[in-house]
């Protein structure tokens, strides 16, 4: 066998957080452990039936959809996105030039980094963050400048703490609210206005990753960045069907914003992929144009789970608060487990009890001391999971 090393960029990254957790999960299943998986943000609820029906009908009866798709997305898809963005946020987007279809927003964010960054370019990334926000930068040869998300600042970055020297060198800033992993929200328009002002001042591309915009509880309604003046001059916004319509396995999303800012990604992708299969784009159109009641109903399911999980965790000393949305609970480890570190706690928890959570440190150094619990299992299982956590805490 020949011996080849992968690229230095790839070698500099540890295995993807969930690859490691999935490996440990497989080992636990092999040992016939009763696994309760609260790790990945992989919705357990099915895709609504009208979307599935549209896919089946289309694949069966419209054979033209079996051909290569249009890479930037079919006009019908982009039009449905523009209309949905208009109905939902009151923002005005040109479907022809301001929307690009993605094979999920993870793909889009990673490739956006590759289409903009030169080796050594700085990117302002929240810490903790969804791993692609920092790994995408490293794979593109860029440098990460971390913006700490601290509990005392409601898990929002403090732009005044970014050194002037770094701001001048930065090319991209990545924000994600509602946030993964902390479940924090940025509902104050001043936060977004400040981000826009900062990025304009330093000539930085502002990315808003809005994957959880629809997973909100009660009266909470979250923003699109394009609701704020001047956003089109600096920002692109990513959206996903994965969480909104439980379509994580379908791999479809979009990015929107001014044509000039979108173009590098469109050009980059034109060399790389053929876009999203046409039948999936058409099913996604059915999702956007159909009743949004299914979105409300699934948010209500997550809210019920969230309350049950947060109440249970607080009772056993894993401190956390009710959230306004998302499918996550970000829990602070009890003091005696904090010393051990979140990675070791998560691994031991899985091996000893079968409960799978994501170690906070996997999302960045500032995630140390926390674990992320995904509400992707029927809440009937929560009682069992919490009992195991309680015994683990007592014995650990
Ligand atoms: C903040 C954030 N952005 C993007 C994604 C990826 O979404 P998609 O399935 O559209 O690639 C996720 C998935 O968990 C996420 O948490």
Please state the three-class secondary structure of the chain as a single string: CCCCCCCHHHHCCCCCHHHHHHHHHHHHHHCCCCCEECCCCCCCCCCCHHHHHHHHHHHHHCHHHHCCCCCCCCHHHHHHHHHHHHHHHCCCCCCCCCEEEECCHHHHHHHHHHHHCCCCCEEEEEECCCCHHHHHHHHCCCEEEEEECCHHHCCCCCHHHCCHHHHHHEEEEEECCCCCCCCCCCCCHHHHHHHHHHHHHHCCEEEEECCCCCCECCCCCCCCHHHCCCHHHHEEEEEEHHHHCCCHHHCCEEEEECHHHHHHHHHHHHCCCCCCCHHHHHHHHHHHHCCCHHHHHHHHHHHHHHHHHHHHHHHCCCCCCCCCECCEEEEECCHHHHCCCHHHHHHHHHHHHCEECEEHHHHCHHHCCEEEEECCCCHHHHHHHHHHHHHHHHHC
Q: Is 153 a domain residue? A: yes
Share of the chain above pLDDT 90, in %: 93
Indicate the residue among 289, 305, 331 that finishes a domain: 289
- Taking 80 as the threshold, does the pLDDT of residue 38 lie above it? yes
* Confidence band, pLDDT 50/70/90 cuts, at residue 16: confident
Q: Is 370 a domain residue? A: yes
In angstroms and rounded to an integer, the radius of gyration of the C-alpha atoms of the chain is 21
Whether 178 contacts 191, CB under 8 Å: no
Indicate the residue among 231, 260, 289 that finishes a domain: 289
Q: Looking at the structure, tell me whether residues 102 and 150 fall in a common domain.
A: yes
Tell which one of 130, 178, 250 to mutate to probe ligand 1, the residue whose CB is within 8 A of the most ligand atoms.
Answer: 130
pLDDT at 22: 86
Indicate the number of domains in the chain.
Answer: 2
How far, in Å, CA of 26 to CA of 224, rounded?
Answer: 39
Mean pLDDT of 104-120: 97
Position in ligand 1 atom list of the atom nearest CA 240: 10
Q: Is 3 a domain residue? A: no
Q: Looking at the structure, tell me whether residues 101 and 38 fall in a common domain.
A: no
Query: What does pLDDT average to over the chain?
Result: 96
Mean pLDDT of 167-188: 98
Indicate the residue among 289, 315, 342 that finishes a domain: 289
Q: Looking at the structure, tell me whether residues 101 and 142 fall in a common domain.
A: yes
Distance (Å) from CA 315 to ligand 1 centroid: 31
How far, in Å, CA of 392 to CA of 396, rounded?
Answer: 5
Whether 277 contacts 58, CB under 8 Å: no
How far, CA to CA in Å, does 143 sit from each of 58, 166, 297, 378?
44, 11, 41, 40
| Contact residues for 264 (Cβ-Cβ < 8 A; gap 6+) | 112, 115, 116
Ligand 1 atom 14: the closest Cα is on which residue? 41
Q: Is the CB of 362 under 6 A from ligand 1?
A: no
By mean pLDDT, which of 18-22, 229-233, 279-283, 295-299 is the weakest?
A: 18-22
Q: Looking at the structure, tell me whether residues 37 and 174 fall in a common domain.
A: no
Q: Is 2 a domain residue? A: no
pLDDT at 71: 87
Position in ligand 1 atom list of the atom nearest CA 252: 10
Q: Looking at the structure, tell me whether residues 182 and 261 fall in a common domain.
A: yes
How far, in Å, CA of 110 to CA of 138, rounded?
Answer: 10
Distance (Å) from CA 46 to ligand 1 centroid: 17
CA angle 98–99–100, rounded 5-degree value: 130
Q: Looking at the structure, tell me whether residues 103 and 235 fall in a common domain.
A: yes
Tell which one of 108, 178, 180, 327 to mutate to probe ligand 1, the residue whose CB is within 8 A of the most ligand atoms.
Answer: 180
Position in ligand 1 atom list of the atom nearest CA 102: 10
Position in ligand 1 atom list of the atom nearest CA 179: 1
Burial annotation 153-169 (CB, 10 A radius, 16+ → b, else e): eebbbebeebeeeebeb
Q: Is 144 a domain residue? A: yes
Domain that holds residue 258: 49-289
Q: Is the CB of 180 under 6 A from ligand 1?
A: yes
Which of these, 106, 25, 99, 42, lies nearest to 281 by C-alpha position?
Answer: 99
Q: Looking at the structure, tell me whether residues 87 and 42 fall in a common domain.
A: no
Mean pLDDT of 345-373: 96
- Taking 90 as the threshold, does the pLDDT of residue 18 lie above it? no
Q: Is 255 a domain residue? A: yes
Ligand 1 atom 3: the closest Cα is on which residue? 211
Distance (Å) from CA 176 to ligand 1 centroid: 10
CATH number at residue 92: 3.40.640.10
Q: Is the CB of 209 under 6 A from ligand 1?
A: yes
Distance (Å) from CA 242 to ligand 1 centroid: 7
Q: Is the CB of 228 under 6 A from ligand 1?
A: no
CATH number at residue 383: 3.90.1150.10
Distance (Å) from CA 211 to ligand 1 centroid: 6
Distance (Å) from CA 106 to ligand 1 centroid: 5
**Which residue is it, tokens 């058409």?**
282
How far, in Å, CA of 85 to CA of 105, rounded?
Answer: 16
Ligand 1 atom 16: the closest Cα is on which residue? 180
Q: Looking at the structure, tell me whether residues 260 and 315 fall in a common domain.
A: no
Q: Is the CB of 104 under 6 A from ligand 1?
A: yes
Ligand 1 atom 5: the closest Cα is on which residue? 106
Q: Looking at the structure, tell me whether residues 319 and 280 fall in a common domain.
A: no
* Confidence band, pLDDT 50/70/90 cuts, at residue 20: confident
Q: Looking at the structure, tell me whether residues 174 and 276 fall in a common domain.
A: yes
Q: Looking at the structure, tell me whether residues 37 and 71 fall in a common domain.
A: no
Q: Is 205 a domain residue? A: yes
* Confidence band, pLDDT 50/70/90 cuts, at residue 395: confident
Q: Looking at the structure, tell me whether residues 53 and 38 fall in a common domain.
A: no
Q: Is 1 a domain residue? A: no
* Confidence band, pLDDT 50/70/90 cuts, at residue 127: very high
Mean pLDDT of 93-112: 98
């Amino acid at each position: 066998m020949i011996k080849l090393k992968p690229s230095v960029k790839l070698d500099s990254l540890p295995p993807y957080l969930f690859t490691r957790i999935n490996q440990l999960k497989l080992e636990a299943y092999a040992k016939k452990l009763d696994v309760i998986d609260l790790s990945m943000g992989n919705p357990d609820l099915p895709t609504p039936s009208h979307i599935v029906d549209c896919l089946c009908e289309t694949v069966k009866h419209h054979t033209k959809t079996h051909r290569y798709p249009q890479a930037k997305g079919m006009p019908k898809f982009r039009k449905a996105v523009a209309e949905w963005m208009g109905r939902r946020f009151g923002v005005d987007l040109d479907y022809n030039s301001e929307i690009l279809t993605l094979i999920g927003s993870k793909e889009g964010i990673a490739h956006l980094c590759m289409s903009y960054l030169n080796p050594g370019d700085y990117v302002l990334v929240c810490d903790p963050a969804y791993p692609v926000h920092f790994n995408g930068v490293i794979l593109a040869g860029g440098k990460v400048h971390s913006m700490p998300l601290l509990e005392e600042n409601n898990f929002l970055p403090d732009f005044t703490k970014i050194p002037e020297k770094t701001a001048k060198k930065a090319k991209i800033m990545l924000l994600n609210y509602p946030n993964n992993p902390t479940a924090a929200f940025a509902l104050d328009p001043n936060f977004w206005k400040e981000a826009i002002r900062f990025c304009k001042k330093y000539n930085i591309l502002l990315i808003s990753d809005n994957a959880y915009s629809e997973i909100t509880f009660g009266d909470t309604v979250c923003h699109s960045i394009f609701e704020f003046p001047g956003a089109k001059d600096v920002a692109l916004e990513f959206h996903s069907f994965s969480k909104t319509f439980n379509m994580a396995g379908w791999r479809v999303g979009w990015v929107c914003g001014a044509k000039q800012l979108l173009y590098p990604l469109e050009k980059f992708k034109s060399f790389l992929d053929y876009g999203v299969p046409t039948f999936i784009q058409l099913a996604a159109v059915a999702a956007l144009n159909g009743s949004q009641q299914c979105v409300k109903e699934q948010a209500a399911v997550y809210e019920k789970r969230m309350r049950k999980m947060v109440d249970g965790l607080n009772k056993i000393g894993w401190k956390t608060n009710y959230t306004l949305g998302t499918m996550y609970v970000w829990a602070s480890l009890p003091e005696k487990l904090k010393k051990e570190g979140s990675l070791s706690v998560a691994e031991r928890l899985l091996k000893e009890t079968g409960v799978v959570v994501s170690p906070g440190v996997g999302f960045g150094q500032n995630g140390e001391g926390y674990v992320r619990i995904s509400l992707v299992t029927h809440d009937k299982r929560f009682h069992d999971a919490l009992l195991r956590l309680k015994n683990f805490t007592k014995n650990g």
